[in-house]
Amino acid sequence: MTDIATSLDQYLASRETPDTRTVAEVYGTENFCHLLHALIRMDRPTVVLELGCGGAASAFMAARALCANGHGHLWTVDNGSDWNDEFVRATCLGAAGLGDKDLTYAGFIETMIGQFDLAERFSLIEMDLDGTDFYDPGQPIDMLFADATPSHAEGCLAILKYYLPRMSPYSSIFIDRAGTINHAWMVLRFVVDCFRVGKLPHSLVSGCSDADVQAMERLVKSCEFQLVNLTETRHNKPTRMQNSRAWIKIQPIDYLPKNDVLTFSSITSPWALD
């Protein structure tokens, strides 16, 4: 038996042999995990929701950032279907130093949460992610990472239909792969362009409850929306779809920087900082 991973960094980087892949590499690379960690440290969200946990690299990193903040909670939703793949299961258990253990997916996540001391900030919700049923944490969502839901145009609309009414006025939505699928990206551009002129496209509100439509209207009228394509590129190689995300950034229209933020233009001399 190998020693159980004593740190998250060890879990992410562990390889059983030079020819095997790390946990993050099974799903792509570790790059977005680190970006997610940095954004959570900066934005200090209260509610983070991840749809799709897999090997839990991004979930553990998000929870670690919340622990460092001393604030907020992560709900990660997954049905554990990846655990049925022997390669994925063996890679995760091997990296964790649990290669000789017969653990269910939920048992594995629970073991690692305890090992990394993340229990206060981390909850696993066992639920299918078929693009029609979604999980509601019951609080305004500050950061949503749709990692395992359908990324085609219809899937993106389904995510926005359900979650836009549940987003906080200062929040982010990440949709895996949507920035590398033509129809999905064009739909997101169209929807965000509608938001920017204060409109809700019919395709978004069709079938929604009156309460959800009203919540979307309030958000669109009071906030500005930015759409960013976070594409992971490799020199002279195809784009990594798995590691590319569409990012919708939401913030109040009347947002102003806090007065305690110093800039060179706000002081007489750039060196007079005391």
- Per-residue model confidence as pLDDT tens digits over 29-41: 677 888 999 999 9
Alpha-helical (H) ranges within 70-152 are 86-95, 105-115
Q: Do residues 259 and 201 touch, judged by C-beta distance below 8 A? A: no
Counted domains in the chain:
1
Segment 102-113 mean pLDDT: 93
Q: Do residues 161 and 208 touch, judged by C-beta distance below 8 A? A: yes
**Quick one: tokens of 217?**
């209207």
CATH of the domain at 17: 3.40.50.150
Q: What is the band of 92 on the pLDDT scale with cuts at 50, 70, 90? A: confident
- In which domain, by residue range, is 253 found? 8-266
Backbone angles phi, psi at 196, to 5 degrees: -65, -20
pLDDT top residue among 170 and 273: 170
- Distance CA(83)–CA(215), nearest Å, equals 37
CA distances from 7 to 61, 95, 248 (A): 11, 11, 32
- 3-state SS, residue 258: coil
Backbone angles phi, psi at 243, to 5 degrees: -105, 10
- Distance CA(226)–CA(191), nearest Å, equals 11
Close Cβ partners of 42 (under 8 Å, ≥ 6 residues apart):
none
* Predicted pLDDT of residue 263: 54
Is residue 99 a part of any domain in this protein?
yes
Segment 113-122 mean pLDDT: 94
Is residue 271 a part of any domain in this protein?
no
DSSP track, 193-225? HHHHTT---HHHHTT--HHHHHHHHHHHHHEEE
Is residue 272 a part of any domain in this protein?
no
Span 33-79, pLDDT tens digits = 889 999 999 999 999 999 998 888 899 999 999 999 999 999 999 99
| pLDDT over 50 at 2, yes or no | no
Is residue 42 a part of any domain in this protein?
yes
Is residue 126 a part of any domain in this protein?
yes
Q: How many CA atoms lie within 13 A of 199 on its CB side?
A: 8
Q: What is the band of 7 on the pLDDT scale with cuts at 50, 70, 90? A: confident
| pLDDT over 70 at 272, yes or no | no
The continuous run of DSSP H or E covering 149 comes out as: none
Is residue 163 a part of any domain in this protein?
yes
Is residue 130 a part of any domain in this protein?
yes
Is residue 188 a part of any domain in this protein?
yes
